[in-house]
Structure 1
């Protein structure tokens, strides 16, 4: 079993009694940095991250999985981290998102729904040729396989 698989197993073991928590991603970079991104249906607290960090760190040392110095980071995904799991999309319904398509187009709007294959976003589209240039609210269903990334967007207006 590789380092990444063992880290995933240890993290899953620690959150097994917390069905509201889930692992978003685990990265092992050059066997010197281990990153665990945790999330929760209602968010994830620093206490949860600390518990997972202690558990994983203890076992990595005990099992001598990495025989040299390493950094272990356990955190929640930041706003700059794209949504990748269905559970992340579900918990962010109603929030503003920026969707980047594989072809480079962008759509900014409110995430209305998400399923395994697509997301639906309500966004403003300016009417073409209209002298008043009023924007119309439209709902677009976007297939996930046409999406490069989706990020929650924050407005400071």
Structure 2
């Protein structure tokens, strides 16, 4: 049985929303004798292991009932990880006052800088760079990744 990833996303989106989560990425792997679906999810607040476990059980039940996956298929739910770039505007608010590596379009020029996120307002992110404030529209961001600090 094969159901498209779009169909699986369609079935899973309402369930994720009910649990205040959203899908970052969905991967499908063919294993020997079964399929594995990797759901990378996030929340606007901190995503916990308990959140992932609960959502995993709910997704598996729902997808089996909808005949989108077989009973012996596997589902794994996790956060995308700190090493992954942020893809959606709603991911930024929980990273206030953290340092980012940002690649963005400034006029006609693509720039990459390390800046501290100090605000999220509608579609604009506000960063601090050398005690100066820099506002960047989300749609001008090419790449944004939090930097890990060991301070």
Scaled by the length of structure 2, the TM-score of the pair is: 0.75
Q: Are residue 75 (structure 1) and residue 81 (structure 2) matched?
A: no
Counterpart contact for 2:24–2:80, Cα < 8 Å: no
Q: Does 1:36 align with 2:39?
A: yes
* 1:53 maps to which of 53, 56, 62: 56
Q: Which residue of 1 aligns with 2:136?
A: 142
SS of structure 1 residue aligned to 2:92? helix
Verify the 8 A CA contact 1:24 1:85 in the aligned structure 2: no
Structure 1 unmatched runs, 5+: 16-20, 125-136
Whose strand fraction is larger, Structure 1's or Structure 2's? Answer: 2
Aligned residues: 139
Write out aligned runs for 1:87-126 (5 A): 87-102=90-105, 103-124=109-130
Distance 2:121 2:40 in 1: 22
Superposed CA offset, 1:44-66 (max 9, x none): 21111101101111222233212
4+ residue segments displaced more than 6 Å: none
Residue 81 of structure 1: how far off its partner (Å): 2.1
Q: CA deviation at 1:28?
A: 4.4
Give the TM-score normalised by structure 1: 0.73
Larger radius of gyration: 1
Residue segments in structure 2 that go unaligned for 5+ positions in a row: 1-5
* Cα shift at 1:69: 5.9
Q: CA RMSD in A?
A: 2.6
Q: Deviations over 1:72-97 (max 9, x none)?
A: 22112311222233332112111111
